[in-house]
A and B are shown apart, each in its own frame.
Chain A
Amino acid sequence: MKRLFKYTLLAVFSLMAVACSEEELSDQSVITNSVNQETEFDAWLEQNYRAPFNIRFLYRYEDIETDMSYDLVPAKEIYSRIIAKMVRFLWLDPYTEVTNAHFMRSHSPRMMQVIGSGAYNQNNTLLLGTAEGGQKITLYVGNWLERFMTIHYNNNVDDTEGYWVEILDPDQVNYYYLHTIHHEFAHILHQKKMYPLDFNTISQGEYVAQWTSISEEEAAKKGFVSRYGSSAQTEDFVEVFSYYLTWSPEVWDAKVAQGGAVGGDRIRRKLAIVKSYMKDTWGIDMDELRAVLARRYAEIDRLDWSDF
């Protein structure tokens, strides 16, 4: 009883203490940003990413959004523009085409970030992308586009009068950026709804932390489409998913053949699970999506790269 009294008294007085304070709220928001102006690229992103998909496409370096454990540099703006165009055309739009306008609006990450340099790990491997909690995808090595394409400026000097892009090495562009983004997106999908755990049993006991210690061929023989896939079950899953979409059918079939009787069979069984998971959970026919992507890869040269 005593105790009850004590606390009641305390509560009353503390309330009084709070009640005494009278301070009017300022009508000005404390969050302001009058310094940094929008660019025309920002306006394009508003129309092509933020408004239709609610995706914030981050191309200007913000240290709080980057991984502090790496030494990084920002991407060159023109490469961010090219990546933004490419990702829209070969990642966002294909899903919309096989589902509806709501699908990517609901399931795409809320933030996409492009970083210019690679993120180098201590073990001499290179981080190409990350997906965080279904909310954010970061693409690294944006500045490497310089090696894979030539930018032809209309005035032969700079981008002020427009430009067009000649992709010199489509396989590398496909690997470093598109494969990476499909890979990270598959992580987001399974982070939202897990795939059937049967998948994890197919190569049980074969997963190794040091994935760089085996060759691509050895990985295939064990039933992995890439040696990185052998690093963990979830990585295996998203590698099957992303390579099935971004490799041509010939390259995919060659990989299955490289796996031999054992590996090839495992890859086929993994793909079957990926396909049924995508169909049952997300209503997406992987073969239809793959066909749409193949068509769009062929159409990439028709993109107007500098219409903003």
Chain B
Amino acid sequence: MKKLFLIPILALALTLSACVNKVEEVFDVPASERLEQCMIDCQKLLTSAEHGWMIQYYPSSSKAYGGSTYAAKFEANGDVTVTGDVAPNVTGDASKTITSHYSINASSSVVLTFDTFNDYIHYWADPDPYSKNKFEGDFEWAYVEGNAKQMVFRGIRTDNKIVFTALDTDIVSAIQQVVDLKYSVNDRLYMGFRMADGAELYDDAIYSVLTYYPDGNTQGAYEKIPYAYTPTGITFYEPATINGVTVQNFNWVEGSFVATDAKTASGAAAEVTIAGFHSEEFIHYDDFLGEWELNQNGTITTVTMKEKVRYQSYTLSKIGGFDVEVGYSKTDGSLSLTYQYVGRYKSGSTNYYAYLCPWDANAGYLCWTAGNGFVLNNIGEGDQLVMEFKDNGKWGSYTTNSILFSGWVNNTPGTGTRTNLVRLTYFKTLTKK
């Protein structure tokens, strides 16, 4: 009976709730129409910029590859024409634009998708020819907010902020300026940038990322500051506080970056300049190009250093008849010569896979481990460059002092039939001619 008593109450409750059916509408129009309106607004803004947009894009959620700057012009028919500071790596020419399609779709929010392949835009997302998406980039960007001057998106994989700024020049001249400025900064091969109060920001050798050690101790805690180039300087991914001053945007003025928006903790405007610096041992990449005298166990031969990957490596020809790769470090002006594949070598009827192997001629051992080999530091007087061969300390108890070019029948060093092709003992110095 008790249970039965509940029923009228339940019924009453249902009747009541059934009648209070007027839900107040928070929005005037249905969700789909609002989403549609947002898509239309997004596209209107994208296509409204007469000269297009400058885009600062950061691949990878870690932002370890720094920022990359694009300029893009969006058309109402779904075409987008793009160039960017990746152009020198892709087409070799920033004035060469590439046109592909974009679409605006609604999934969890309004998303701008670069939905057909564009060599520039998809550069950071393409898994070919690697086995993984090397740079962990994305090409689907969720629309956050915007006006005629600026639009903000977020990468849907990386969640990184992507800022669009309306251009007042055409996309090619904008990117040309960015690339020229980037070259003039890179050409100086700075180790980093220093503030007037001594705070140092170290620059990554390849990507646009600065490292800041708040305690001034390069073994201690650090902050990574990813940045991207603009036509006049650089912009940090987000404002960074360095020794109490918060900064984000800089103009490039003859070897220094001058902040345009520095503020102290109290909000007062501050003047901040970070000036490029080198280490004391610094030698410019270009100074190593040209002819050298190689002293190998007292035998002098002339060899040539040519550019391989600019600011990173050289091709040295020849040692033992082979072209070998020599590494360059802007940090301390040193060179490196380590274990490497040098090509095919025919000996008798066999065509070997030839490798440069570090060799300890005293102990009678050789090795085939990546990274083992020589480091070369300058011991010359005045302007005369004399690079001395030394073991780089990576080979445990053995010491690299010689080179043995070793041949394997299969391209699998360490296994299968091996033979000694060329033996060169006791490398001493390289002297610039």
Contact = CB atoms under 8 A, between A and B. Distances in A.
A80 B76 contact: no
A71 B127 CA distance: 6
Given A35-B104, A117-B126, A16 B18 contact: yes
Interface residues of A, number: 48
Interface in A131-166: 141, 143-144
Nearest to B139: A73
Nearest to A79: B117
Given A35-B39, A36-B104, A60 B115 contact: yes
B125 interface: yes
Interface string A51-69: 0000000011111100000
Contacts of A141: 128
Contacts of A6: 3-4, 7
B132 A74 contact: no
A280 B340 CA distance: 60
Contact of B18 (A17, A63, A79, A80): A17
Nearest to B10: A10
A213 interface: no
A72 B127 contact: yes
Interface in B307-361: none
Contacts of B4: 2, 5-6
A12 to B, nearest CB: 8
A9 B7 CA distance: 8
Most buried by B among A10, A17, A28, A71: A71
Interface in B34-67: 36, 39-40, 43
A26 B30 CA distance: 9
A143 B128 CA distance: 9
Interface in B394-433: none
Nearest to A77: B116
Contact of B117 (A9, A20, A32, A75): A75
Contacts of B299: none
Contact of B40 (A5, A18, A34, A39): A34
Contact of B15 (A17, A31, A63): A17
A71 B14 contact: no
B101 A30 contact: no
Instruction: Choose among B21, B43, B117 the residue with the greatest number of A CB atoms under 10 Å from its CB.
Output: B117
B266 interface: no
A37 B78 contact: yes
Given A60-B116, A63-B107, A16 B39 contact: no
- Specify which of B127, B132, B139 lies most central, judged by the most chain A CB atoms within 10 Å of its CB: B127
Contacts of A30: 30, 32-33
Interface in A102-122: 116-118, 120
Max chain B C-beta neighbours (<10 A), residue from A17, A31, A74, A76: A74
A24 B10 CA distance: 29
B122 to A, nearest CB: 5
Nearest to B126: A73
A120 B15 contact: no
A14 interface: yes
B133 interface: yes
A116 B7 contact: no
A75 B116 contact: yes
A13 interface: yes
Nearest to B79: A39
Contacts of A76: 100, 116-117
B101 A60 contact: yes
A201 interface: no
Contact of A120 (B21, B32, B114, B131): B131
B17 interface: yes
B132 A120 contact: yes
Interface residues of B, number: 44
A204 interface: no
B217 interface: no
Interface centre among B33, B40, B101, B140, by most chain A C-beta atoms within 10 angstroms, is B101
B182 to A, nearest CB: 25
B113 interface: yes
Nearest to B119: A76
A17 B17 contact: yes
Nearest to B104: A35
Contacts of A80: 116
Which of A5, A31, A35, A143 neighbours the largest number of chain B CB atoms within 10 Å of its CB?
A35
B11 interface: yes
A8 to B, nearest CB: 10
A22 B19 CA distance: 11
Given A34-B40, A35-B43, A80-B116, A144 B18 contact: no
B105 A61 contact: no
Contacts of A20: 18-19, 21
A63 B100 CA distance: 17
B177 interface: no
A116 to B, nearest CB: 5
Interface in B85-107: 100-101, 103-105, 107
A35 B11 CA distance: 49
B122 A74 contact: yes
A308 to B, nearest CB: 16
B105 A62 contact: yes
Nearest to A36: B103
A120 B127 contact: yes
Nearest to A60: B115
Interface in B10-26: 10-11, 14-15, 17-19, 21
Contacts of B122: 73-74, 116
Nearest to A71: B133
A3 to B, nearest CB: 9
B219 interface: no
Given A13-B15, A35-B40, A60-B101, A117 B127 contact: yes
A254 B114 CA distance: 45
Contacts of B100: 76-77
10 contacts: A6-B3, A13-B15, A18-B18, A20-B19, A32-B33, A36-B104, A60-B113, A63-B107, A71-B127, A118-B127
Given A35-B43, A37-B76, A74-B116, 18 more contacts: A10-B10, A13-B11, A21-B18, A34-B40, A59-B116, A61-B113, A61-B114, A64-B107, A71-B136, A72-B127, A74-B115, A74-B117, A77-B117, A79-B117, A116-B117, A117-B128, A118-B127, A124-B131
Interface of A: 2, 5-6, 9-10, 13-14, 16-22, 26, 28, 30-32, 34-37, 39, 59-64, 70-77, 79-80, 116-118, 120, 124, 141, 143-144
In the A-B complex, the 3 residue pairs with the smallest Cβ-Cβ separation, listed nearest first, are A17-B18, A71-B133, A30-B32
